[in-house]
């Protein structure tokens, strides 16, 4: 069984971390992170579905298609290297080659990620000049610094870890992520790196990661915007010597992987730009899962609903209006809605026992659930989302200035 998850990760056996300031951010903030595996690690990844993939995404997809192991991960914040054409891709290739030379690794084993402003070329020379500083900074205890270096509008680093007992012995999983705005995973809107010392083949790891991402990172939304740079990378370096010996081990490891991914995903929503509320939109008994997901996302993306969350105004009419325009065939007379345990709507109408002060009390909480029951099938989907505050507008109105 998995030990209780730790929200602050010290690291994972067989991995070292480093972070430095290279000039992408102002005032000596950390802006360049490095993860190094002691031995080449099996790798799995999922990337953005945005039709304008950033240069590191193009490069990373090629790497994963070739199924090459990964020994180092370089991540910069402050610049997305997106919409930069052939020049941006050439810069990724140069960074990988130069870092490989510094670390005495094959260039094809260097994975590169970027996050930040779209449309600006990387200050390549400045970054290249910083790479030789990394070897002296690498440490198994520097994961928190690496998590800090990949932040953009995040207010805090996001890390977690756990250990698992498999039939073959103990293994560890840790993760770090960034994300606070432009969050609408499809897959997935943010950067996340999950590391384990378990011994797993890349093809098996890919299947497990895709399953876990579908139920974690792809069920969160802050603002409904899908980024150009979304990446979840999972590495398994096998230094524990413990493999997944059978189906029970695979189930146990998958559960641990889910716990880490779910914790990181929840951290992203709770740190949403300007967010003051974390709200689960649960749709159940829909005609099918697709219908439930469409309704859940429609409600969770509604600006009127999100501002009602922020204003602590239990205006259930905004919820039912979003439900009605989601494009799902339903019978209004069968719809019930709850705010936590308070039933607001029964049969498409205000519940006769509903009191406004009860709904307002729910909305005053930092975390609550909106449940919509269509009584039309067995489709279920839940989305974790945030409210929309004045601060969100301020952050994004001034993002580049």
Class of residue 104 by CB neighbours under 10 A (exposed 0-12, middle 13-18, buried 19+) = exposed
The CATH 3.60.70.12 domain(s) of the chain lie at: 15-270
**pTM attached to this predicted model:** 0.89
Write out the two tokens for 283: 């749709």
pLDDT above 90 covers what percent of the chain? Answer: 78
371 in catalytic set: no
- With tokens 């384990």, the residue in question is 196
Of 185 and 23, the structure prediction assigns the larger pLDDT to 23
pLDDT at 274 over 70: no
Mean pLDDT, residues 39-49: 95
- With tokens 């301020």, the residue in question is 394
Which strand (E) or helix (H) includes residue 103?
Answer: helix 85-103
Write out the two tokens for 397: 């109105």
What confidence category does residue 276 fall into, taking pLDDT thresholds of 50, 70 and 90? Answer: confident
What's residue 97's pLDDT? 98
The 10s digit of each residue's pLDDT in 290-348 is 999 999 999 999 999 999 999 999 999 999 999 999 999 999 999 999 999 999 999 99
User: Which CATH code, of 3.40.50.720, 3.60.70.12, 3.90.79.10, 1.25.40.10, is assigned to 15-270?
Assistant: 3.60.70.12
pLDDT at 70 over 50: yes
What confidence category does residue 188 fall into, taking pLDDT thresholds of 50, 70 and 90? Answer: very low
What's residue 378's pLDDT? 97
pLDDT at 393 over 80: no
What confidence category does residue 392 fall into, taking pLDDT thresholds of 50, 70 and 90? Answer: low
Helical residues (DSSP H) of 223-364, grouped into ranges: 247-270, 289-301, 303-311, 316-324, 356-363
Task: Exactly one of 189, 228, 231, 371 is catalytic; name it.
Answer: 189
Spatial separation of the C-alpha atoms in residues 293 and 87, rounded to whole Å: 39
pLDDT at 283 over 90: yes
- CB atoms < 10 A from the CB of 62, how many? 12
What's 96's DSSP letter? Answer: H
What's residue 221's pLDDT? 79
What confidence category does residue 226 fall into, taking pLDDT thresholds of 50, 70 and 90? Answer: low
Q: Is the dihedral of CA 112, 116, 121, 124 positive or negative?
A: negative
The CATH 3.10.20.340 domain(s) of the chain lie at: 278-397
Query: Interhelix angle for 303-311 vs 289-301, to 10°?
Result: 60
What's residue 158's pLDDT? 94
CA angle 364, 367, 372 (to 5 degrees): 95
How would you classify the pairing of strands 231-236 and 349-350?
unpaired
The 10s digit of each residue's pLDDT in 90-127 is 999 999 999 999 999 999 999 999 998 889 989 999 99
Per the DSSP assignment, residues forming a β-bridge with 79 are: 115, 117
Of 27 and 348, the structure prediction assigns the larger pLDDT to 348
Of 156 and 223, the structure prediction assigns the larger pLDDT to 156
pLDDT at 394 over 80: no
What's residue 230's pLDDT? 86
Per the DSSP assignment, residues forming a β-bridge with 258 are: none
What's residue 89's pLDDT? 97
pLDDT above 70 covers what percent of the chain? Answer: 91
Q: Distance from CA of residue 401 to its chain's centroid?
A: 26
Domain 278-397 has CATH 3.40.50.150: no
What's residue 291's pLDDT? 97
What's residue 1's pLDDT? 46
Write out the two tokens for 301: 């993306």
């Amino acid at each position: 069984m998995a030990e209780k998850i730790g929200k602050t990760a010290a690291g994972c056996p067989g991995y070292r971390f480093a972070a430095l300031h290279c000039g992408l951010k102002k005032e000596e903030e950390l802006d360049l992170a490095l993860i190094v595996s002691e031995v080449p690690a099996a790798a799995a990844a999922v990337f953005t579905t945005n039709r304008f993939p950033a240069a590191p995404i193009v490069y990373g997809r090629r790497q994963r298609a070739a199924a090459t192991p990964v020994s180092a991960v370089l991540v910069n914040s402050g610049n997305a290297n997106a919409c930069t054409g052939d020049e941006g891709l050439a810069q990724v290739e140069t960074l990988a080659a130069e870092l490989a030379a510094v670390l005495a690794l094959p260039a094809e084993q260097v994975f590169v990620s970027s996050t930040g402003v779209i449309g600006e070329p990387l200050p390549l020379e400045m970054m290249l000049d910083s790479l030789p500083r990394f070897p002296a900074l690498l440490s198994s205890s520097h994961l928190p610094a690496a998590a800090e270096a990949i932040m953009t509008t995040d207010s805090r680093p996001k890390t977690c870890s756990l250990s698992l007992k498999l039939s073959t012995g103990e293994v560890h999983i840790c993760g770090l992520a960034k994300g606070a705005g432009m969050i609408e995973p499809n897959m997935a809107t943010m950067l996340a790196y999950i590391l384990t010392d378990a011994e797993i083949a890349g093809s098996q790891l890919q299947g497990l990661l895709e399953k876990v991402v579908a139920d974690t990172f792809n069920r969160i939304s802050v603002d409904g915007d899908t980024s150009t740079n979304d990446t979840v990378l999972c590495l398994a370096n096998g230094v524990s010597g413990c493999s997944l010996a059978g189906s029970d081990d695979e189930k146990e490891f998958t559960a641990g992987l889910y716990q880490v991914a779910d914790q990181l995903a929840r951290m992203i929503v709770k740190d949403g730009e300007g967010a003051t509320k974390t709200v689960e939109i649960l749709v159940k008994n829909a005609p099918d899962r697709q219908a439930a997901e469409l309704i859940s996302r429609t409600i969770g993306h509604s600006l009127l609903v999100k501002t009602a969350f922020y204003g602590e105004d239990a205006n259930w009419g905004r919820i039912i209006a979003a439900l009605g325009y989601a494009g799902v065939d339903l019978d209004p007379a069968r719809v019930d809605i709850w705010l936590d345990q308070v039933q607001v709507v029964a049969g498409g109408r205000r519940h006769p026992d509903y009191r406004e002060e009860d709904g307002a009390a729910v909305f005053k909480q930092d975390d609550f659930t909106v449940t919509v029951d269509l009584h039309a099938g067995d489709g279920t989907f839940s989305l974790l989302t945030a409210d929309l505050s004045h601060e969100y507008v301020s952050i994004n109105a001034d993002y580049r200035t």
